Amino acid sequence: MKEVKRDFNQRKNEINTYFIFLENLLTYDTVSWNDNSPKKISPELRGIMKANIFLMLYNLTESSISAAIEQIHISIKKEKIPFDDIKEGIKVKLVKYLKNKKKVEKFINEINEISIDIISSCFDKKDVFSGNAGRSEINDLAKQYGFSTNSDYKKTKHGEKLQKVKNHRNELAHGNFSFREIGKDYTLTDIRDFKDEIIAYLERIIENIETYIDQKEYKSDET
């Protein structure tokens, strides 16, 4: 999980750096180029710059949780845990992947011992969220794999703002709303709350998954 945490911290720092820039810029409310006289920042530009934070937070969510889930499969594969000895939810997920995503010929060519190799062969990090990384999706993953979503509600609000981030990301990606339209109604305080709560929530989920892996909680309760 060291690489997962390193990547998470790098993206977190990028978001914090961008927010400090945004906060300073919008507080002074002026900008200048090439030694020209400062000009007031337009409402359109203010909205655009605030909306960018939602894309950054979505990127952080999808990339970090997908990578953490991948580490579960890597650990199971490394420990050579057979299919019969993993949790029921993971079995169901693997079989669904094999049924819906995997070509039989490709699967056969990739495996030597089906009970072990199905763990890694029937998983693709890109399919963990498929463009829909929100709190409900993380909760679904937690139920399937069996890791905890417990967090400090005062700091994280249990990730409730992730739904709004996901919605805004999809609205921007599909062109349903402009950046200005998304960002115009949010204050800097609103943006800070989104940033702080979501980062704290994701940090807790990553820690929970790390504990899950360390304690090999992907094993069936019957083993």
The predicted-structure confidence for 152-208, as pLDDT tens digits, reads as follows 999 999 999 999 999 999 999 999 999 999 999 899 999 999 999 999 999 999 999
Dihedral of CA atoms 28, 31, 178, 14 in degrees, nearest 10, equals: -70
Q: Which of 52, 14, 29 is nearest to 186 (CA)?
A: 52
For residue 32, give Cα distances in angstroms to 40, 41, 92, 107: 9, 10, 57, 58
Distance CA 29, CA 66 (A): 38
What is the pLDDT confidence band of residue 102, given thresholds at 50, 70 and 90?
low
Strand partners, 31: 39
**Span 97-120, average pLDDT:** 72
Distance CA 76, CA 120 (A): 9
pLDDT in tens, 36-59: 777 888 889 999 999 999 999 999
* Percent of the chain whose pLDDT exceeds 90: 66
Distance CA 215, CA 152 (A): 22
Coil, helix or strand for 61? helix
pLDDT of residue 30: 77
pLDDT of residue 56: 97
Distance CA 160, CA 143 (A): 17
CB 16 within 8 A of CB 150: no
pLDDT of residue 111: 67
